[in-house]
Amino acid sequence: MKKFMATSLVAVLFTMTIPAMAELNVFACEPEWASLASEIGGERIRTYSATTAFQDPHHIEARPSLIARVRRADLVICSGAELEVGWLPLLQRQAGNPSVLPGKPGYFEAAAMVERLDIPVVLDRSVGDVHAQGNPHVHLDPRRIQGIARALQTRLIEIDPDGKAYYQSRLIDFNQRWQQATEQWQYQAKKLKGTRIVVHHRDWVYLFDWLGIQIAGALEPKPGLPTSVGHLLSLKQALASNPAAMIVHTTYQNPRAAKRLAQMTNIPVVELPYTVGGDERVTDLFSLFDVTIQRLMDGLQ
């Protein structure tokens, strides 16, 4: 036993390599934040995304590999607003890395940087798994992304003051491109204003708020609860008198419920990428909105 431990310790010390460059290790809870961090941090940071577009960020295992990543992180970027409440606190507590604990500069909560929607009036679990600080899926509104990008730049400068000029110029460049793209998206999506769409979970609140889309209903009877036949029937009834243009779901949600409702109502189903990596064409935040708006427009036809 002891011999085994001694050999493994030596092996671990041997494989420990310290990077030569003073790069910041950025641990992003979700791919959208890894992408945003790359936009602002460029070559001064190395990003790692804890999740992919195919994983529900509400339900992630506090895996050993994630603890190991947080251990070496200089900055942890997450949505916050309790989205990661089931796993992030465990990673932070077990990693032995004080610089990324809540309240420290190394912990960046994107949702805390912007105004949030869906802040519950009543906090009661009988209405589902609601987040006390509001809806955490803030990355689907380009206006909010801009605010978060600015806050992230400030935070990067705080952690890595040597890179101040670099981060500032990256932000200016990003803002320029983002502003332009936002205007174009808004133009492309003009027709979506007032459209009624059925959602799986309320992941789309910020996107819809931005584009003026109305939520015609949710496949989840209550946030976090799987759909039921009874709930689909009541949705069908509601949609009969007040129809919707499409049903949307993310890559990590099972499309079965959406397809079932589509069969019942003849409303088309549209899968949206939700985040970076959710479609092979979605490689960054820009293409995320490109594809999302294109899919929504296609769904409208």
Partner 1 sequence: MKTKSLFLGAIVFACFNSISYASKLSGINPDISLTLDGRYGSYSNAGDYELPGFMLGSEASRGEKGFYLGHNELSISANIDDMFYGKFTTAITEHEAKTEVELEEAYIETPALGYGVTVKAGRFYSDVGYLNNQHGHAWDFADAPLIYRGLFANQLLDDGLQVSWLAPTDIYFKLGIESTRGERFPAGGAANDGRGANAVFAEFGGDVGVSHAWQLGFSHWRADVVGRTAGAHAHGTTSEIPTFTGDSRISGIDFVWKWAPNGNKHERNLKIQAEYFVRDENGRVDMAGSSPLETSTYEGEQSGWYLQTVYQFKPRWRIGYRYDRLRADNTGSDPSVLTEASLDDKDHTPERSTLMLDYSHSEYSRIRMQYARDKSYTDSDNLFFLQYIVTLGAHSAHRF
CB of 105 to partner 1, least distance (A): 10
CB of 236 to partner 1, least distance (A): 16
Toward partner 1, which CB reaches closer, 172 or 225? 225
Rounded to whole angstroms, the Cα distance separating 159 from 106 reads 7
Is residue 260 close enough to count as binding partner 1 by CB under 8 A?
A: no
Provide the 8-state DSSP code for 242. Answer: S
Is residue 8 close enough to count as binding partner 1 by CB under 8 A?
A: yes
Q: How far is CA 18 from CA 23, 47, 72, 154, in A?
A: 11, 16, 11, 27
Toward partner 1, which CB reaches closer, 59 or 164? 59
Among 106, 134, 142, 299, binds partner 1 (CB under 8 A): 134
Indicate the SS3 state at residue 255. coil
Q: Which stretch binds partner 1 (CB under 8 A): 5-13, 34-42, 183-191, 264-272?
A: 5-13
CB of 85 to partner 1, least distance (A): 5
Residue 218's H or E segment, with its range, is strand 214-218
Among 29, 37, 113, 272, binds partner 1 (CB under 8 A): 113
Provide the 8-state DSSP code for 183. Answer: H
DSSP string, 106-171: TEEEGGGGS--S---SS--GGG-S--TT----GGG-HHHHHHHHHHHHHHHHHH-GGGHHHHHHHH
CB of 5 to partner 1, least distance (A): 6
CA dihedral 275, 207, 185, 48 (to 10 degrees): -20
Could you say which residues in the range 38-97 bind partner 1, by CB under 8 A?
Answer: 51-52, 54-56, 58-65, 67-69, 71-72, 80-82, 85-87, 89-90, 92-97
Toward partner 1, which CB reaches closer, 142 or 286? 142
Could you say which residues in the range 13-42 bind partner 1, by CB under 8 A?
Answer: 15-16
CB of 201 to partner 1, least distance (A): 11
